[in-house]
Structure 1
Amino acid sequence: VIIEPHCDGDDSYNDTDGFDLFDTSTITQTLLTNPQTNQTQSLDDFSISYQYVDDNEVTQNSAELPNPFNSNTQTVIATVTNNINNSCVISKDIDFVVNPLPVIKQNLIVVEQCDDDESNDGITLHNLSEYEELFSDNYQNETFEYYNDEALSIKIDDPTNYYNVALEDLIWVKIISENGCERISKTQNGDDRLQIDITVGASQISQTFIDDNNTLYSICDDDFGSAQDGVSVFSRSVLQDIVEKLRGSREIFQDQNIRISLHTNPDDGLTGENPINLDSDFTNSNPYNQEIWARVVNVDITTFTCLGYEKVAELFVEPRPIAYPASIDRQCDGDSVLDLNSQDGFFPFDTSEIINQLLTDPSTGIKQDESTLIISYFNEDGTEIPSSNFSPVFLTESQTITLRVEINPIYPNINNPQGLCYDETTLEFIVDDSPEVGVPNVPEQCDSEDGVLDGQGVFDTGNLNTDLLAGQTNMELNYFLIDGAGNETDLGTSLPNPFNTSTVTILARILNPDNPTCIVEEYITFQVNENPVFELPEEQVYCTNLGSDTIYVTTPSATYDYSWTRDNNGVDEPMNQFSQNLVISQGGVYTVTATNPTTGCTTSKTISVSESELALLDYDDITVYDLTGDGTNRIEIQTGVDDLGIGDYEFAFNDGSYQDSPVFEDVEPGIHKISVKDKNGCGIAEIMVSVIGYKYFFTPNSDGINDTWQVLGISEQFQAESLIYIFDRHGRLLTQIATDGEGWDGTYNGSALPADDYWFRVNLEDGRSFTGNFSLIR
Structure 2
Amino acid sequence: MNWIDAQVNIPPNIQAEGNQFYCPLTQINVVSAFDIIDPDDMGIESLHIQITSGYNGFEDLLILNGSHPNIVSTWSPVEGKLTLRGLGGTDVSYPDLIAAVYDVVYTNSSPFMTGDREFSFTVGDANYLPSTDHYYQFVEDLGITWTDARTAAESYTYFGLQGYLVTISSAEEAQMVGEQAPGTGWIGGSDQETEGVWKWMTGPEAGTVFWTGGITGTSPNYAFWNNGEPNDLNGEDYAHVTAPGIGIPGSWNDLPNLLTNPSDPYYPQGFIIEFGGMPGDPDVDISASTQISVPGIVESTDADRCGPGSVTLEAVASTAEVLWFDTTVGGVPLGTGTSFVTPVLNDSATYYALASVNGCETGLRIPVYATIKTIPSVTGTVGDQVCNEGSGVLTASANPGSITWYDSAVGGNIVGSGDSFTTPVHNITTTYYAEVEFDGCISLNREPVTLTIIQTSQPSGSPMQSFCDLDTATVSDLAAVGDEIQWYDSIDSNTALNESDELMDGAYYATQTLNGCESLDRLEVEVIVYDTVSIPEDIPDIRSCDTAEDGDDTNGLVAFDLRINETLLLNGATSSDFSFRYFSDPGYLIEISNPDNFLNTVPGGQVVYFRIENILKSSCFSDGMFNIIVDDLPFVMPSFVLKNCDEDGNPDGFTDFNLNEAVPLIVSGDLAQMSLTYHASLADAEQNVSTLDPAPYNNSSGNQVFLRVENVQGCYRISNLELQVSTTSFNEGYVQTLEGCDDDALIDGLRVFDLSESSQDFIDQFPTGQNLSVHYFRTLEDAQLEQNEITQITTYINETPFSQVLYVRVESDDNGECFGIGPHLLLTVHPRPEFDVDQEEFYCLNGQPIQFEAINANGDYLYEWRDESGMLISEEPTALIESGGVYSVIAYSAEGCSSFPLSFTVVESGVANIQPGDIIVEDFSNNNSISINGNNLGIGDYEFALDDADGPYQDDPYFSNVSAGDHLLFIRDKNGCGIVTIEVFVLGFPKFFTPNNDGYNDKWNLKGWNQTYSSRSQIKIFDRYGKLIKEISPATDGWNGQFNGQNLRASDYWFVANLIKQDGTNRVLKGHFSLVR
Q: TM-score, normalised by structure 2?
A: 0.28
Structure ID, larger Rg: 1
Q: TM-score, normalised by structure 1?
A: 0.38
- Return the structure number with greater relative CO, CA threshold 8 A, min gap 6: 1
